[in-house]
């Protein structure tokens, strides 16, 4: 039977490791923050301890056998219900919270490892998870920015001319406008521009130039 000191060590380690990942989520104001990650990690650690040692008293019976992995295995499937609660469908084809849900799933695994006495595996996974969540984010943001596309729709008066503004932007940032469509309606002219390889600052400057033009009636930007 496992000692009380070992139980405290495993539960304490699970709380600390889960809290480290929870702090990273907390700083972004996600619903699943510090306390949620700690609770998931400690809870899964306790389940692992119960699974491995909680039935020791009945194992002396010749007709009883025990598979310690069966109770712990339910954590892997059960954590999906908590993870699903952190996923938000903001609009069509836009989902937020998947990283937090994956983090909760990983924290549950860290708790299982701590409960099973695999201290190195639990700590190594925590370090790797923090690197993924924090250190790699700038790289992900840079790659995403390079691939992201916006659709800028500009409605102007029939006699309005904004070609000089568009040409200036193309001269300054040659690759910013991927495609341009112009068509005329009865009482207005419409430009539709597909913009890529642009920073938020580039977009803001472009919008300010367009919106300040006297002939512009409406401007909309979607991603």
Phi, psi (rounded to 5 degrees) for 135:
-70, -30
Q: Supply the CATH number for residue 156's domain.
A: 3.30.70.260
Do 19 and 90 sit in the same domain of this protein? Answer: yes
Domain boundary among 93, 110, 135: 135
Predicted local confidence at residue 124, as pLDDT? 93
Is residue 55 assigned to a domain? yes
Q: What is the tens place of the pLDDT at every residue in 31-45?
A: 567 888 888 899 999
Q: Are residues 166 and 129 in the same domain?
A: no
pLDDT tens for 72-87 read 788 877 787 777 766 6
* Residue given tokens 């009883």 in the structure block: 64
Q: What is the H or E stretch that residue 218 is in?
A: strand 216-222
Q: Are residues 155 and 61 in the same domain?
A: no
**Same domain for 152 and 131?**
no
**One domain for residues 51 and 112:** yes
Q: For helices 119-130 and 4-26, what crossing angle results, to 10°? A: 10
Q: What distance in Å separates the CA atoms of residue 150 and residue 47, rounded to the nearest whole number? A: 47
- Quote the mean pLDDT of the chain: 77
Residues 179 and 78 in one domain: no
- Say if residue 28 is in the same domain as residue 108: yes
The residue whose two tokens read 């495993």 is 10
- Which range of residues forms the domain containing residue 69? 4-135
> Final residue of a domain: which of 105, 135, 165?
135
Strands 189-196 and 149-156: antiparallel
Mean pLDDT, rounded, for 179-186: 76
Residue 170 has, within 13 A of its CA and on its CB side, a CA count of 12
**So what's the pLDDT on residue 92?**
47
Q: Under 8 Å CB-to-CB from 162, ≥6 apart: which residues? A: 154, 156, 191, 210, 213, 215, 216
156 plus 113 within the same structural domain = no
């Amino acid at each position: 039977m496992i000692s009380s000191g070992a139980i405290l060590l495993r539960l304490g380690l699970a709380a600390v490791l889960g809290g480290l990942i929870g702090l990273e989520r907390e700083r972004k104001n996600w619903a699943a923050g510090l306390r949620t990650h700690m609770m998931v990690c400690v809870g899964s650690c306790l389940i692992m301890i119960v699974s491995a040692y909680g039935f020791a008293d009945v194992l002396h019976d010749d007709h009883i056998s025990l598979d310690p992995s069966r109770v712990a295995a339910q954590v892997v499937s059960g954590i999906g219900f908590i993870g699903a609660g952190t996923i938000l469908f903001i609009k069509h084809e836009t989902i937020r919270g998947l990283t937090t849900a994956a983090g909760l799933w990983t924290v549950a695994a860290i708790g299982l490892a701590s409960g099973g006495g695999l201290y190195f595996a639990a700590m190594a996974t925590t370090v790797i998870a923090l690197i993924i969540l924090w250190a790699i984010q700038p790289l992900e943001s840079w790659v995403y920015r390079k691939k992201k596309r916006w659709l800028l729709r500009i409605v102007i008066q029939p006699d309005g001319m904004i070609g000089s503004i568009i040409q200036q932007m193309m001269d300054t940032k040659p690759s910013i406008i991927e495609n341009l469509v112009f068509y005329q309606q009865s009482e207005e002219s419409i430009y539709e521009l597909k913009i890529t390889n642009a920073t938020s600052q580039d977009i803001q400057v472009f919008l300010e130039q367009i919106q300040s033009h006297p002939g512009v009636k409406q401007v909309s930007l979607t991603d």
